[in-house]
């Protein structure tokens, strides 16, 4: 396989009974790229993502993530990826530091490394004052940023973000994207789904899913040209309305 392609997907399909949730999607993602994975609600984004992160078995097709096959080597994939779900998934009844320690421990980091990572992460996010507070008491925006940083704790090759900025204010969203850029600059590939079309503009390349199929895939600039649209919002509306 090409070392620059960290995700290679070919004809990947997921069926639930008669319903085809993901219909033979094909795409590739380069190393260090920010790849926007767009689509309306129910288009199949989350299902597709769950196959790539190894928690949902594909029905057919091929896919290779971080060099491992999604059918046979899901556990190897898991060592090399980070994931942040659309539902906040840290423990509300643990403190900031305890959450970081727990996930660091699960990924097999050494005590020393966990300590270093925690300190760096808490400082970077400016959480010094709340480091020993329960996560449940933090505002949503802070939780999301923490959750993103925790998904990067084991320095994964790829991080999958499922609607990471849902429900947070514009300032926090901007700060969040700064974190994403920082991760991408350090060589982490970012695979992100979003509903916000302004965020789609921040991505290197964007795919748009409609009813389980990828209907468009290119850089935001080229997509706007292709669909003769002023912004990504119009591109999306043209596609999603069919």
Partner 1 sequence: MKTILYIIQKEFKQIFRNKGMLPIIFVLPLLQLVILSNAATFEVKNIKFGYIDNDHTSTSRALVERFNASTYFNVLTDFPSEALASSAMLKGEVDVVLEIPQYFERDLQNEKHHRLGVTINAIDGAAAGVMNVYVSQIIQRFNQHVKVDLLQPSDQQIQASNIDTIPLFWYNETLNYKTFMVPGILVLLVTMITLFLSGMNIVREKEIGTLEQINVTPIKKSQFIIGKLFPFWVIGMGLLTIGLIIAKLIFNVPMVGSLPLMYVYTSIYILVVLGIGLFISNFTETQQQAMFIAWFFTVIFILMSGLFTPIESMPKWAQMITEFNPIKYFVEVMRMVMLKGSGFIDILPQLLKTFSYALIMNGLAVWSYKKTT
Contacts of 167-176 with CB under 8 Å at 24 or more apart are 167/140, 168/140, 168/141, 168/144, 169/141, 172/141, 172/144, 172/145, 173/199, 175/141, 175/145, 176/141, 176/144, 176/145, 176/148
CB of 59 to partner 1, least distance (A): 13
CB of 53 to partner 1, least distance (A): 5
Nearer to partner 1, 91 or 181 (CB): 91
CB of 80 to partner 1, least distance (A): 9
For residue 15, give the H/E element and its range.
strand 5-16
Task: State how beta strands 34-39 and 205-210 pair.
Answer: parallel
Nearer to partner 1, 56 or 175 (CB): 56
Nearer to partner 1, 157 or 205 (CB): 157
Beta bridge partners of 7: 29, 65
Q: Which residues bind partner 1 (CB under 8 A)?
A: 53-57, 74-76, 78-79, 81, 83, 85, 87-94, 98, 101-103, 105-108
Nearer to partner 1, 152 or 200 (CB): 152
CB of 148 to partner 1, least distance (A): 12
CB of 170 to partner 1, least distance (A): 25
Nearer to partner 1, 16 or 181 (CB): 16
The conformational region for residue 228 under phi > 0 = left, psi -120 to 50 = alpha, else beta, is left
Contact criterion met (CB below 8 Å) for 51 and 12: yes
């Amino acid at each position: 396989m090409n070392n620059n392609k960290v995700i290679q997907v070919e004809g990947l399909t997921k069926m639930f009974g008669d319903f085809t949730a993901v219909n033979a999607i094909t795409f590739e993602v380069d190393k260090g790229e920010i790849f926007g994975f767009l689509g309306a609600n129910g288009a199949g984004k989350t299902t597709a993502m769950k196959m790539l992160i190894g928690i949902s078995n594909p029905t057919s097709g091929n896919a290779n993530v971080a060099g491992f096959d999604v059918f046979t080597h899901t556990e190897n994939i898991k060592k090399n990826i980070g994931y942040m779900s659309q539902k906040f998934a840290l423990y509300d009844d643990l403190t900031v530091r305890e959450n970081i320690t727990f996930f660091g421990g699960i990924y097999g980091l050494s005590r020393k490394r966990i300590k270093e990572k925690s300190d760096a992460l808490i400082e970077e996010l400016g959480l010094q004052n709340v480091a020993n507070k329960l996560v449940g008491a933090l505002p949503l925006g802070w939780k999301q940023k923490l959750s993103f940083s925790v998904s990067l704790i084991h320095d994964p090759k790829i991080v999958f973000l499922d609607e990471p900025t849902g429900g947070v204010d514009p300032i926090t969203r901007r700060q969040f994207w700064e974190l994403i850029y920082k991760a991408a600059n350090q060589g982490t590939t970012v695979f992100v789904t979003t509903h916000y079309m302004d965020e789609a503009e921040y991505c290197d390349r964007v795919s748009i899913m409609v009813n389980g199929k990828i209907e468009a895939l290119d850089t935001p600039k080229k997509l706007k040209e292709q669909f003769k649209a002023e912004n990504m919002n119009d591109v999306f509306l043209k596609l999603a309305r069919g």
